[in-house]
Amino acid sequence: MLAMNKKNIVYGAFIMLAVVAMLSACRDKRSTGLEYARNMYDPIAFNQDQPNKNFANGQTAQTPPPSTDPIGFVRFEFANTAEGLKAAEAAVVNPLPLTKENLLEGKHFYEVFCGVCHGAKGDGKGPITLLEKGINAPAFYGEGKESSRGGLMSELTVGRIYHTVFYGYNAMGSHASQLTPTERWKVILYVQQLQKQK
């Protein structure tokens, strides 16, 4: 009996509280009602698009100073033009050493991102190439196999391959968003192994 009463008291108190909370919300149509710990809703930090008196131009979001890069961002200074390609061919060197680990990771990224078109062995016979007659990905090796941009496929330089991965070329899209700079260098180490095949 006593236990029953206790339960009723708890229920009653709860219902009363709920009624008070609901009524308090009715006072003003625009009111959002009872709010618990209001200051938790309002961030202390400035929002990006909020006016800000701390800066001369009155904005929170500031343009980064010229010649600065976000942390971890690596520039590729060569333009997506024939001149840019030439300059990249002449200047770019792979910063990574040819190690077993780098090659193994390069192989992995190659198989994921390039092999579908260029073939797992680099023979240009990837599943997409076979399915879609429109996409003819070139092989990276083979006697007399020429690039559509001139030169033998087996002799493409590091800079040329990096430029192609970065910007893409004709039916091949850019792979800059799929691969980090380090991953691109690893893929290139592997592509250069494929180029050596006979």
Q: Applying CB under 6 A, which residues contact ligand HEC?
A: 113-114, 116-118, 128, 135-138, 147-149, 156, 160-161, 164-165, 169-172, 175, 187, 191
Nearest distance from residue 144's CB to ligand HEC, in Å?
14
Q: Which is nearer to ligand HEC, 6 or 149 (CB)?
A: 149
Q: Which is nearer to ligand HEC, 101 or 155 (CB)?
A: 155
Residues 6+ apart with CB under 8 A from 141: 122, 123, 153, 154, 194, 195, 196, 197, 198
Nearest distance from residue 69's CB to ligand HEC, in Å?
23
Nearest distance from residue 103's CB to ligand HEC, in Å?
14
Q: How far apart are CA 155 and CA 108, in angstroms?
A: 22
Amino acid identity, position 188: I
Nearest distance from residue 156's CB to ligand HEC, in Å?
5
Q: Which is nearer to ligand HEC, 33 or 127 (CB)?
A: 127
Q: Which is nearer to ligand HEC, 46 or 135 (CB)?
A: 135
Where do we find the tokens 């009624």? Answer: 19
Q: In terms of Cα–Cα distance, which of 138, 148, 154 is closest to 194?
A: 154
Q: How far apart are CA 192 and CA 198, in angstroms?
A: 13
